Amino acid sequence: MTNLIDLTLNELVIKIKSKEISSKDITSVYIERSKSSKKLNTYIEETFDDALKNSEKFDAKPNFDKKLAGIPFAVKDLFCTKNVRTTASSKILENFVPTYESTVTQNLWDAGAILLGKLNCDEFAMGSSNETSFFGNVINPIDDNLVPGGSSGGSASALAAKLTPATIGTDTGGSIRQPASFTGTVGLKPTYGCCSRYGIVAFASSLDQAGPMTRDVKDCSLLLEVISSFDPKDSTSVDFKRPNYSLNLNKNIKGKKIGIPKEYRVDGMPSEIEKLWEKGKEFLKDCGAEIIDISLPHTNYALPTYYIVAPAEASSNLARYDGVKYGFRAEGENLIDMYEKTRSQGFGDEVKRRIMIGTYVLSSGYYDAYYLKAQKVRKLIKNDFDEAFNKVDAILTPSTPSSAFKIGEKTDDPISMYLNDIFTVPVNLAGLPGISIPAGLDKKGHPLGLQLIGKAFDEQGILDIAYSMEEKINFKLNTKDWWIK
């Protein structure tokens, strides 16, 4: 049975539909493997007993028309799940059990998937290493001293360690693509408005998007198809006809024009990454695509812009965690005292830092200089992309400026931590789709990813390009199961 965990999501679905294996078979395999992988600290909440029951229920009355028929599935703990504890990796929601389901996870269960549990992440998705979680840091299955990236670090780690056939994360500034890059997996941030934000614990509302994290591009297409939907409960959800991404998936990218933005050649970028990028270009040329040099002149301003907009929204979004209605409450002398104690004790340092930054940039007297200016720059960054997409079909960049770093390496230096998102944040600011695919290893043997950025709502376009590159790259993740007990 061991090779069952090596099957991709698509392969598993076929095996279940052809009744070669049952939902219970595969669910049990994943539960056993998850149980013996505690060292990675990927799960915050395990729902293994219910998962088994649900798999039996599926097998008793299987519906093979469903896209994820009987597939066990763990999700990031930022998605609210009905009657299953949802913490956002924060003490302030340590014991919070929603009475409702997020639209994205509901789409999964409606497609036949079965919840295995909730996966660790950075607290309120604020972090790039999964070290800000109240439930402890997550370990990258690549090596025991490496971070898996963040904020969807638990998801990336669980996926790479084969504790779930596929998973979902959320991406506000790179939280899907950066951990995918760090763990040698595929992660896609859809166009803003593709996936409903209803029931996802909000970090920065104008940037947050849920997206698929998978072992390969085909799985990514299938999963995107399942989770993307128009949702009247989210006013920013966009009503468009969702294509059948997996069915349409096409390796032929002959004549596609791929842009290479010169501004992404940043100072101090390791030569390995430079080489990887070059290799990516060669692969694309081999596939018949045309490489075009482009300019995204405001790229340099993306990171500072992001670190104004995201904390500003976060400072307001997190105001609801005040100890009054639900979640953690510290006793206080009076209302103000209760607020102060609750929020001081309930939030971790990184969350507090961002609430303070956000509060500051929105304050009267500073609003124009920071928030308003950031909004203007955000528009310029979007214009850069619009301009570029007049000339090209997609843009190729590295996913991250480095491979996975060591646990604790950047925890005392938030700026260097923030710099990790330098290639991913512009995509969120512009609301565009971006996918990270594993493209090679550095000399330490750690995975490196390449990012494809597409036009708004052209997920199909970047999936096709990624699909053809994936074949050329032929990346193999070799994790050796060192953590299994």
Partner 1 sequence: MIKDQYLIEKNDNKYEVVIGLEVHAQILSESKLFSTSSTKFGSEPNSQVSLVDAAFPGMLPVINEFCVKQAVKTGIGLNAKINNKSIFDRKNYFYADLPQGYQISQYKNPIVGEGSVILDLPTGQKTIGIERLHLEQDAGKSIHDIDPSNTLVDLNRSGIALMEIVSKPDLRSPEEVNLYIKKLRSIMRYLGTCDGNMQEGSLRADVNVSVKKLESDKYGTRCEIKNVNSIKFMQMAIEHEAYRQVELIEGGGTVDQETRLFDTKRNITRSMRSKEDAHDYRYFPDPDLLPLEFDDNFIDNIKKEIPELPDQKKNRFIEKFKLTPYEANILVSDLETSKYFEKVIENSDVKLSANWITGELFALLNAKNLEITESPITAKNLSNLVNLIKDGTISGKIAKTVFELMSDGDKNPVDVVKEKDLKQQSDPKELEKLIEKVINDNQDKVNEYKSGKEKLFGFFVGQVMKISGSKANPQIVNEILKNKLK
109 binds partner 1 (CB under 8 A): no
376 binds partner 1 (CB under 8 A): no
Work out the number of other CB atoms within 10 angstroms of the CB of residue 134: 19
3-state secondary structure (DSSP) of residue 96: coil
Annotated active-site residue in 155, 175, 246, 436: 175
CA separation for the pair 199, 220 (Å, rounded): 22
Output the CA torsion 440→443→447→448 (10° steps): -60
Annotated active-site residue in 76, 118, 162, 455: 76
CA separation for the pair 98, 86 (Å, rounded): 7
Of the candidate residues 16, 68, 88, 441, the single one contacting partner 1 (CB under 8 A) = 88
Number of residues forming the site for partner 1 (CB under 8 A): 42
431 binds partner 1 (CB under 8 A): no
Smallest distance from the beta carbon of 355 to partner 1, in angstroms? 11
356 binds partner 1 (CB under 8 A): no
205 binds partner 1 (CB under 8 A): yes
Site string for partner 1, 222-241 (x = CB under 8 A): ----------xxxxx-----
H or E stretch at 437: strand 434-441
Smallest distance from the beta carbon of 94 to partner 1, in angstroms? 13
Of the candidate residues 58, 73, 135, 198, the single one contacting partner 1 (CB under 8 A) = 198
3-state secondary structure (DSSP) of residue 75: strand
Spatial strand order in the sheet of 167-171: 167-171, 209-214, 186-189, 434-441, 447-454, 394-398, 257-261, 290-294
Output the CA torsion 120→122→124→128 (10° steps): -140
Contacts with partner 1 in 311-340 (CB under 8 A)? 312-313, 315-316, 318-320, 322, 324-326, 335, 339
Annotated active-site residue in 28, 90, 129, 151: 151
200 binds partner 1 (CB under 8 A): yes
Q: 63 vs 99, which CB is nearer to partner 1? A: 99
Q: What are 412's two structure tokens? A: 């005392």
Helices (H), 233-391: 245-248, 271-286, 302-317, 335-346, 349-362, 373-388
Q: 143 vs 322, which CB is nearer to partner 1? A: 322
CA separation for the pair 289, 283 (Å, rounded): 9
**Would you name the residues annotated as active-site residues?**
76, 151, 175
Binding site for partner 1 (CB under 8 A): 80, 86, 88, 93, 96, 98-100, 102, 197-202, 204-206, 232-236, 312-313, 315-316, 318-320, 322, 324-326, 335, 339, 359, 362-364, 367, 371
